[in-house]
Structure 1
Amino acid sequence: MAEHLVSLKIGALFAVLIASIVGIMIPILRWRKESPNKSQSGSFWFYILRAYAAGVMLALAFVHIIADALATMDGLTGNFPIGSVFVMIGIMIMMVVERLSLDMGSLLTKNPVDLSSAECCDPGHNQHPNDVLKGPHQPANCPVHHCNAVSSPVSLGADYPAEVAHTPHSIDLHRVLPLGPVQDVGSSSDISTDDAKPKVMLGMLELGIVVHSVIIGMDLGVKTDKASAIVGLVIALCFHQFFEGLGLGACIASVMHDEESKVNWSKVMVMVAVFSLTFPFGGALGMISIAAESFHADNLFQPWLQGTLDAISGGVLVYLAFIHFISEDFNRKDVNSRENVGLRWLMILSVILGATCMSLLALQA
């Protein structure tokens, strides 16, 4: 590998590092003093940003990560679509890891779910006809009233009481809240998984990003052999890391002020460092691999390793984008109220815009 290409790649790694730091720090610094859930404008732009991040993640998964995985693993097992299988495995891994994390968190807190108290809450609370709708599994004589025993911050990085809280037996307690100040109406003292879920989702998101960032960094170090190709790839990767940093930073910002999550500034800086350094780390691994001549064109280990990690990472990102961004946000009662028609369409346009931006970057990659 030519010496000038080595210098160019090192400069490229630093450029992507700076883009990563800037992207992830913008939302963190924007909401450093208060949670984005505590102000009208903060909540509005927070939903818009999450919708944009969902579009970015979808395009990143389908256009960049999964497409590369399928191309890399094409022909390794004949006509069998092994790349698609690993994408499916990535989605299943997310389901299993999330469920295990929540169940283990519930056991560690030694605070089991009390189904009787969840089904029929204390009638001493103030009642409002529009606050809570009776769940389908509640007994007929259970009064409909204000209940703060069940709240579920199911949306990644957003510690707000969800409009549809799900217990293990599908007890649905609906609560309508106005968009804007998302207030804490009581911690989930009966369902201990609620406190763990935002942290689990944040960890899963960063895990998916970290894995494929290392792989993309290795792509820069291993595949590129022309200066012009390096420059074009770096431009695309700077945007790629910047957009991903915005999404991850927004998720961190929403939980860093939550006392239950215990995400202080030191932990925030660790997450920032992990996200920012994984791409340069992958690039360094790729350059070392080329220097050591450990990857050869006729060696099947490299396509299996790279294709498998790409496919699994793509599955993780698809799961996160659909389940914990699009599904959670677009099914909120306040978002679907008559007063927020404009917000809904702005969120849809944000998803389309994010997906379009990341898809166009594939032309340069």
Structure 2
Amino acid sequence: MEKLIFFFSLLLLILSPVLVSGDCTCDTEENKGVNSKHEALMYKIGAIASILLGGAVGVCIPVLGKRFPALRPENDIFFMVKAFAAGVILSTGFIHILPDAFEQLTSPCLNQSLWGDFPFAGFVAMVSAIGTLMIDTFATSYFRRSYFNKAKPVNSDEENGEVHVHTHATHGHSHGSSAIVAGGGESEVIRHRVISQVLELGIVVHSIIIGISLGASVSPNVIKPLFTALTFHQFFEGMGLGGCITQARFKSRAVVVMALFFSLTTPVGIAIGIGITNVYDENSPTALIVEGVLDSAAAGILIYMSLVDLLAADFMTPRIQGNLRLQIGAHISLLLGAGCMSVLAKWA
């Protein structure tokens, strides 16, 4: 799954400069002159550093729960943080990405007889959510079968009508693998691993798009508000992803790779945008279609993941259902996360 995520994202990074080219008769952003472009470049460089730091800190907070007992998955505070982050991700899908997709795919720059008579953004988001469900189901089933095949009995003896089963434990595994316990614990870990990887895929798709859009802009007035808004955006999304990574109990190397991959995606997108500034036309039909379809797909993934794999999976557990105080706190945290991210939509 990690290889699939890496390949898909690398392919997007390679193809993005090509896909966004095209002709369009709509008005484009006015040329503000050399000084304005230089000022915009300075903001872009600052945005790369700020967003990189914000994303890295956000994704590392839950991961560092191993060192800070209050942030460990078994503690109530972790549930509160995860609910907040899930609200952020849900708001990102509904408030930030999906409206942009509708705007892009209904733009007057596109052939209205083809794109204006059908809600393609909603359709792609729906198909994306269904596709995520299918991947979620098949991947979980596949890894679960693989795990049980590896852990199947290596020796069995029948004595006096009793079956004695001996299994082997593989030494040298990470803390995460050794922490998998019987009674369904291994299935829960496998589930969290699939969730974290699919969630990262959805976040990465959106991060590439917003990074390229910011990097290709030549207007300081557009970049200034995005500077701070996207930093908080990445910080909150990182918290949600970091919580899933923590519960997945990956090996340390996999945790580092996933955290770095998330942290670097938007800055790399900004760098690509800077490189294609002179040839990028955000109002070209090709750019609008590619961005609109990818935004719709990302929205479907994030909405499904936040509602099904993050919120429902936690809120319906006996632990929260049996603790009214924790239940109320988790709902308040969810509303705060969704509310804070919704407010950022004013600038990003």
Is TM-score (shorter-chain normalized) higher than 0.5? yes
Shift of residue 335 of structure 1?
1.1
Please say if 1:61 is aligned against 2:93: yes
Q: Which amino acid aligns with 1:199?
A: R
Which residue of structure 1 lines up, in the alignment, with residue 165 of structure 2?
Answer: none
The code of the aligned residue for 1:197 comes to: R
Instruction: Name the structure 2 match of 1:357.
Output: 340
Displacement of 1:320 in angstroms is: 0.7
Shift of 1:86: 0.9
Structure 2 CA distance, aligned partners of 1:185 and 1:11?
Answer: 46
**Contact 1:24–1:247 (CA<8 Å) still a contact in 2?**
yes
1:302 maps to which of 287, 294, 305: 287
The Cα shift of 1:13 comes to 1.2
Deviation at 1:85, TM superposition (A): 0.7
Q: Distance in 2 between matches of 1:28 and 1:352?
A: 23
CA contact (8 A) 1:35 1:253 kept: no
In the TM superposition, 1:84-233 aligns within 5 A as 84-109=122-147, 111=149, 186-188=182-184, 194-222=188-216, 224-233=217-226
Query: 1:21 aligned to 56, 77, 86, which one?
Result: 56
CA contact (8 A) 2:208 2:266 kept: yes
| 1:313 and 2:295 matched | no
Distance 1:107 1:246, change over 3 A: closer
Task: Please report how far the alpha carbon of residue 107 of structure 1 lies from its aligned counterpart in structure 2 after TM superposition.
Answer: 4.3
The alpha carbon displacement at 1:104 in A equals 2.5
Question: Distance in 2 between the 1:37 and 1:229 partners?
Answer: 39
Percent identity for Structure 1 against Structure 2:
33
Q: For the residues of structure 2 that align with 1:33 and 1:330, how far apart are their CA atoms?
A: 24
Aligned partners of 2:180 and 2:189 also within 8 Å: no
Relative to the length of structure 2, the TM-score reads 0.74
Aligned with residue 263 of structure 2, among 263, 272, 276: 276
Shift of residue 280 of structure 1? 0.8
1:38-69 C-alpha deviation (Å, 9 max, x unpaired): 7xxx5201111111111111111111011111
Gaps of 5+ in 1: 115-123, 125-158, 160-182, 257-262
- Aligned residue runs from structure 1 range 323-334, under 5 A: 323-334=308-319
| Match in the other structure for 1:82 | 120
Deviation string, structure 1 residues 79-121 (Cα, Å, up to 9, x no partner): 2101111111210110111122123224434649x9xxxxxxx
Distance 1:199 1:185 in 2: 15
Instruction: Name which of 330, 333, 336 aligns with 2:321.
Output: 336
**CA distance in structure 2 between the aligned counterparts of 1:27 and 1:18, rounded to whole angstroms:** 15
Tell whether the 8 Å contact from 2:206 to 2:294 is kept in structure 1 after alignment.
yes
* In 1, Cα distance between equivalents of 2:276 and 2:133: 33
SS at match of 1:356: helix
Match in the other structure for 1:144? none
- Across the aligned residues of Structure 1 and Structure 2, the Cα RMSD in angstroms comes to 2.6
CA distance in 2, matches of 1:33, 1:236: 28
Secondary structure of 1:335's aligned partner:
helix
- 1:265-322 superposed Cα distances (whole Å, 9 cap, x missing partner): 221111111001000111122222223x14363x311011101111100110000110
Extract unaligned runs of 5+ from structure 2.
1-33, 153-161, 163-175
1:90–1:312 contact (8 Å) kept in structure 2: yes
Hey, what does 2:248 align to over in structure 1? 255
The residue identity in structure 1 corresponding to 2:99 is: A
Verify the 8 A CA contact 1:105 1:193 in the aligned structure 2.
Answer: no
SS in 2 for 1:346: helix
Find 1:241's aligned residue among 203, 217, 234: 234
Who is 1:154 aligned against? none
Code of the residue aligned with 1:82 in structure 2: it is F
Q: Which structure would you say has the larger RCO, counting Cα contacts within 8 Å and 6 or more residues apart?
A: 2
Q: Deviations over 1:219-247 (max 9, x none)?
A: 2123x332233121111001101111111
| Conservation of the 8 A alpha-carbon contact between 1:48 and 1:350 | yes
Moved over 6 A (4+): none
Tell me: CA distance 1:15–1:185, structure 2 relative to 1, closer, same or farther (3 Å).
closer
Is contact 1:52-1:354 (8 Å) kept?
yes
**Aligned to 1:363, what secondary structure does the other structure show?**
coil
CA distance change for structure 1 residues 96 and 62 in 2, over 3 Å: closer, same or farther?
A: same
